[in-house]
Amino acid sequence: MDLPKTMIVENLPNIPWQGRPEGCSSIVWRYDHNPVIERDLIPRANSIFNSAVVAYNGEFAGVFRVDDTSRSMRLHSGRSQDGFTFEIDEEPIRFVCDEPEITEFVEGYDPRVCRLDNRYYVTWCNNYHGYTIGMAYTHDFKTFHQMENSFLPYNRNGVLFPRKINGKYAMLSRPSDTGHTPFGDIFYSESPDLIHWGCHRHVMAPTTDSPTQTCSWQCMKIGAGPIPIETTKGWLLFYHGVLQSCNGFVYSMGAALLDIDKPWKVIHRTRDYLLNPRTLYECVGDVPNVVFPCASLQDAATGRIAIYYGCADTVTGLAFCYVDEVLDFLKGNSLV
């Protein structure tokens, strides 16, 4: 007899997985051979991090942020048979685009990939007279067709929902500024065609909710992480939160549960983080003290979730959890 499934996703029996270590009580735990992608996997790579992986043709594929040794920020395609060991193209993606105004690629980073309408859509932070949300699609992770930018500068962390909501495409994003934004709320937008975006709604803001009311792990800015996961309870969103310490920014990961029909309404939101920088590869790197989730894989049958996240803006890590445990933690430790 099949057990009830919490996640409304496909079964993924070959999901990359490692069980919870003995004696570990954490809701989210790390792969013990992290980093799963080293910084120098391909020639001229300075760092490979904040990247997106999806299931593809029985294996896995993705789009990877590669900062090269000139420190240019580029997007590369890659693939894996098992979700642990990756082959990443040495040359960056050359987007196909019929609109000359946006054809010239300046730089891009922090991609997400969403399977939608039998295509794989890529969103990323795209430099078009300032940082905004770029969008492209692919069928095979070889040819990528660039579309119009989704918003005016300045905006980041554009994350699509994996299906239409109330007949419209939907996206989360975080309006920003020209630099290392010292603020940031998550907003929801909808579109009839993935080009024209409007009906913007506020989702949630940073918070200083803590015993002292002066600081928390998400008190400066927040941003959407992997593609939201549809569950029987609502949309499960992993997101990053930032605090400013006396030694700079610290990026951690939390989760929220959003209403299934009105995703700008927050049902639950974690008071405590689920993952924060504490290993050497998360605390030491080009930008220390960062965990930055960008992708997740799910298996409906087992409730397993595997999360790919950037570590210290240098390498890529992998972590694991069970959906029911995350939802229970959300309910019991919610700010809402």
Please state the domain extents for the chain: 39-332
What pLDDT, on a 0 to 100 scale, did the predictor assign at position 181?
84
Pairing of strands 235-245, 248-258: antiparallel
Q: What is the pLDDT along the chain (336 residues), one digit of tens a residue?
A: 456 799 999 999 999 999 999 999 999 999 999 999 999 999 999 999 999 999 999 999 999 999 999 999 999 999 999 999 999 999 999 999 999 898 888 999 999 999 999 999 999 999 999 999 999 999 999 999 999 999 999 999 999 999 999 999 999 999 999 888 889 999 999 999 999 999 999 999 999 876 666 789 999 999 999 999 999 999 999 999 999 898 899 999 999 999 999 999 999 999 999 999 999 999 999 999 999 999 999 999 999 999 999 999 999 999 999 999 999 999 999 999
Q: Residue 204: name the closest of 178, 231, 161, 241 by CA.
A: 241
What pLDDT, on a 0 to 100 scale, did the predictor assign at position 3?
61
CA distances from 139 to 4, 77, 142, 170 (A): 32, 12, 8, 20
CA distances from 215 to 128, 206, 224, 242, 245 (A): 34, 10, 20, 10, 9
Reduce the DSSP state of residue 254 to 3 states and report it: strand
What pLDDT, on a 0 to 100 scale, did the predictor assign at position 247?
86
SS3 content of the chain, % helix, strand, coil (to 5): 5, 45, 50
* 132 touches 152 (CB < 8 A): yes
| First vs last C-alpha separation in the chain | 36
DSSP of 161-209: -SS-BTTBEEEEEEE--SSS-S---EEEEEESSSSS-EEEEEEE-----
Structure-token match 């910084």, residue found: 39
What pLDDT, on a 0 to 100 scale, did the predictor assign at position 212?
64
Of the CATH numbers 2.170.190.11, 3.40.50.11540, 3.50.50.60, 2.115.10.20, which one belongs to the domain with range 39-332?
2.115.10.20
Reduce the DSSP state of residue 157 to 3 states and report it: strand
Encode burial over 208-226: b for 16+ CB neighbours within 10 A, e otherwise: eeeeeeeebbbbbbbbbbb
